Chains A and B, each alone.
Chain A
């Protein structure tokens, strides 16, 4: 079927010139990602994604499983190719992983033969940065994450929550301007998760990094983000971008206010209307 084949071929990418506007860090335009299954079906993992991320902005991405939020994050991390569309990062078309990026994964993904400190130093070693300078920074980050005294331990000696904190330190060690986080707290218990959310907000407000956080939890997204991107599956696309103008710093108590509840309801509404409730 020639007509069907034609539609899977990547469209000629419409080059989006970086705006003169210096505050726009990432511009995603008409981004598409399609997979072909073994039986020849085409799955649209991402369809027509358009999003501008401003520098120092905290973006939350919510959506049910299969809505393509992890796919979007992997494309931005440069570890997955896009099928069509344009991603411009800091004025340049995205072409593979960037040194200015820190990625936190769903699982800690620590290397078991490396100590905590050696794990945090992985990006520094890979990018051949000054070890002496960044080891100081690594120790400082570990102390901030409450892991002082654990520098020489191996991952197997740490709890799941501590391992995830090591993973976050690793993403921050080379001082990237852009942080991508893929459900980083998904595997943690509710109490640890709240503490980590507070920590993340503090890190963000102190360093003013640009953060893109993928999460299952609508409340977590509203609590942390300036804007919440709402995605729905089949095909994965953005259905709404909710601007959360709650004052900063946000507190846990704020989660019980009617304002907070209104934002949560505005986001949840999309999943009810789409018939998918698995968030």
Chain B
């Protein structure tokens, strides 16, 4: 493997980067803590990191956080899966049939131009205050990135590869199975990555409009009570969810689309 020679240096560089990042993080947190205390900033404007940590610990101990986290994660995952599968299926249909493209694509584009946040209230009225409406909102947001990338990906096969296959008497189906499908994978993963991050936003927006549980609902509650430390604690949880889900997609992508070698990121991905 060509990467073997460079691996030790990449690893040392990676550890070095990690140390640097940790140092920057510590300086940032202590600077924040110090500034809040020194300037006497009221905690309903900006809570110090220590209070955020305490707020987070209390939510965990009361079991509050776990429950709302579970609800939101369920909405994110269910909405993501439904939207992504829908986008993939319609993407395949449109990419493979020019007739279907003429019939469906104008509506898809028209639908995409509507901000999903704007239709969230309608969806809550249609599907209620429970998880169903959040799943629907998340699904409508996760749908388009998969649709667009699947269509693009299935058309991305280089012409010379198709020509090569045809010259060896490959049928349309063989060209699709042996070339087009695999050429589409990198695009589909870009779609999945965008969709999973948007799904977090979708679930929270849904909960903001009207909900009985979930992290978005919890943020609104804490805000009403001027519990800024608690709000910040949830924001941190949300960003951890986003980064974590993104990382899952990236790791899966490196495993499955292994031939698209993104050098440099290799070590962090393993």
Contacts and interface: CB of A to CB of B under 8 A. Distances in A.
Interface of A: 74, 77-79, 96-99, 101, 103, 105, 107, 109, 111-113, 122-123, 125-127, 154, 156-157, 174
A113 B259 contact: yes
B168 interface: yes
A105 B182 contact: no
Interface in B163-203: 163-170, 174, 178-179, 182
A203 to B, nearest CB: 19
Contacts of A96: 169
A127 B179 CA distance: 16
A126 B1 contact: no
A109 B168 contact: no
Contact of B168 (A122, A154, A156, A157): A122
B2 A123 contact: no
Interface of B: 1-2, 160-161, 163-170, 174, 178-179, 182, 258-259, 261
B164 A126 contact: no
B210 to A, nearest CB: 47
Contacts of B163: 74, 79, 105, 109
Given A97-B169, A103-B164, A154-B259, A125 B178 contact: yes
B170 A126 contact: yes
B169 A98 contact: yes
B60 to A, nearest CB: 44
A275 B33 CA distance: 81
A96 B163 CA distance: 12
Contacts of A156: 259, 261
A157 to B, nearest CB: 6
Shortest 7 CB-CB contacts between residues of A and residues of B: A112-B259, A123-B168, A103-B167, A109-B164, A126-B170, A97-B169, A113-B259
Contacts of A98: 169
Contacts of B1: 157
Contacts of A107: 160
Nearest to B163: A79
B167 A79 contact: yes
A122 B178 contact: yes
A34 to B, nearest CB: 20
Contacts of B160: 105, 107, 109
Contacts of A79: 163, 166-167
Contacts of A101: 167
A113 B164 CA distance: 16
A126 B261 contact: no
A126 B168 contact: yes
Contacts of B165: 122, 126
B260 to A, nearest CB: 8
Contacts of B182: 111, 113
B164 A105 contact: yes
A78 B2 contact: no
A157 B174 CA distance: 26
A14 B167 CA distance: 26
Contacts of B167: 77-79, 97, 101, 103
A97 B259 contact: no
B250 to A, nearest CB: 18
A123 B1 CA distance: 28
A162 to B, nearest CB: 13
Nearest to B166: A79
A174 B168 CA distance: 10
